[in-house]
Amino acid sequence: MGDDSSRSIVKSLKNEWALFWEAFQGEEVTDETKDAFESGKLEVLSLNQVREITKALIEDRKRLNQKLETLSKEIDLNSAKLESLRLVGGEEDETLKRIHELNDLGQSMAMALEKLDSQLRTVRNKEIEIQEEAAEA
């Protein structure tokens, strides 16, 4: 029965992981934000448009942080599983491989978060610049 329980947990983790991965690939950066950075339109945006981009970037960062938290939980679960396998002398190669995959994904997500933070700093600087120009006028 314990084996069935383990399989059930692994199956639910795989389902969660599939949903997580789909969300990560699909929501990293909004189209409006991406377009503004790629086309250089950031220079000609109004204060309200810049604020909307800031809001979108903050939401993207929030989602990415939540995904990193979920990833961390899965790494913890796999680490506990690995420790249990080592205690009972079980096969640990697959679990160890999964932990490495999760760590690699975590690193790529951290780089995406760093890029997103850089974009957010750029947008916030532009917002301050627009506000200062409006105050001088």
Percent of the chain at pLDDT > 70 equals: 68
Residue keyed to tokens 């760093």: 114
Q: How many other CB atoms are there within 10 angstroms of residue 40's CB atom? A: 8
Q: Look at residue 51 and tell me whether its pLDDT is greater than 70.
A: yes
Per the model's pLDDT, the better-predicted residue between 46 and 128 turns out to be 128
Give the tens place of pLDDT for each residue, 70-99.
999 999 999 999 999 999 988 889 999 999
Give the tens place of pLDDT for each residue, 100-118.
999 999 998 899 899 889 9
DSSP label at residue 28: S
Name the region of 89 (left: φ>0; alpha: ψ -120 to 50; beta: rest): left
Percent of the chain at pLDDT > 90 equals: 29
DSSP label at residue 43: G
Q: What are phi and psi of 46, to 5 degrees?
A: -80, 170
User: The whole model's pTM is what?
Assistant: 0.64
